[in-house]
Amino acid sequence: SRLHQQTGGCFDPVIGADLAAGDPRRDPISGVAPRDGFGGIELDAEASTVRRLDPRLRFDLGGIAKGYACDLAASILLEAGVECALIHGGTSSIVALGAPPGRAEWAIEVKGYEHKTIGLVDGALAVSSAAGGGAGGHLIDPFSGDRLDRRRAGAMVVGNSATDCDAWATALTVAGFEGEVARQLPPTLQGYRLDNGESTDMKAQAEPSVEEERWKRTVEIS
């Protein structure tokens, strides 16, 4: 709910019904669910419960789940004493702990980014784009219920929390960089426009290098 409010509703995890409509991979929902974000949800922080006030509402956590999972994995590694690791959440969310041996930072290749690569150390990164996504698309305008144009510019957000980066990357892809939503980006985060051009694939991945491959083999052997 915090990220939903911060992004002016552009990050909305209660759009599962709209995503299901017209997508053969998802089970359809009978009836039209209202588009009022968390207005149809009852949250109880003390009991740690969430209740739908309308049975037609459906959650979809695709805009935040990978970032949250990466943050949890990072916490577990830090508690275990791991100081150097790159947690990769499937081409869209990354958490870096420390830097690889002999290097100042992790070099992350990001398609659509004007500088091609970005350095990351003790931080998180997330990308979002309407490009790709398979049948039916995967990004929705939460206010209209329409799928975003696949040629629309994507977004990359860098910060300390992969959860926040994930949600804000989605929000900036929905809202763009010219309006009020972009101006509300917290000072702890940095947002970058990604130009996907004609590409249908937007992803972030560790830039391959001899040193990183050697480090990878060392980790696998040990």
What is the mean pLDDT for each group of 10 consecutive residues in the chain (222 residues)? Answer: 83 70 55 61 82 75 88 97 91 91 90 85 91 58 71 87 94 89 93 69 51 40 27
Whole-number pLDDT of residue 217: 34
* Torsional sign, CA 201, 202, 203, 208: positive
CATH class entry, domain 65-221:
alpha beta
Q: What is the DSSP letter of 218?
A: H
Whole-number pLDDT of residue 196: 63
Q: Which of 191, 193, 184 is nearest to 9 (CA)?
A: 184
Q: Which of 48, 49, 66, 63 is nearest to 14 (CA)?
A: 63
Whole-number pLDDT of residue 130: 77
Note if the pTM is more than 0.85.
Answer: no
Whole-number pLDDT of residue 53: 76
Q: Which of 123, 120, 133, 106 is nearest to 201 (CA)?
A: 133
Q: How far apart are CA 179 and CA 197, in angstroms?
A: 21
Indicate left, alpha or beta for 137 from its phi (over 0: left) and psi (-120 to 50: alpha).
left
* Start and end residues for every CATH 3.10.520.10 domain found in the chain: 65-221
Whole-number pLDDT of residue 198: 44
CB atoms within 10 A of CB 7: 22
Beta carbons of 155 and 194 less than 8 angstroms apart? yes
- Phi, psi of 2, deg, nearest 5: -60, -50
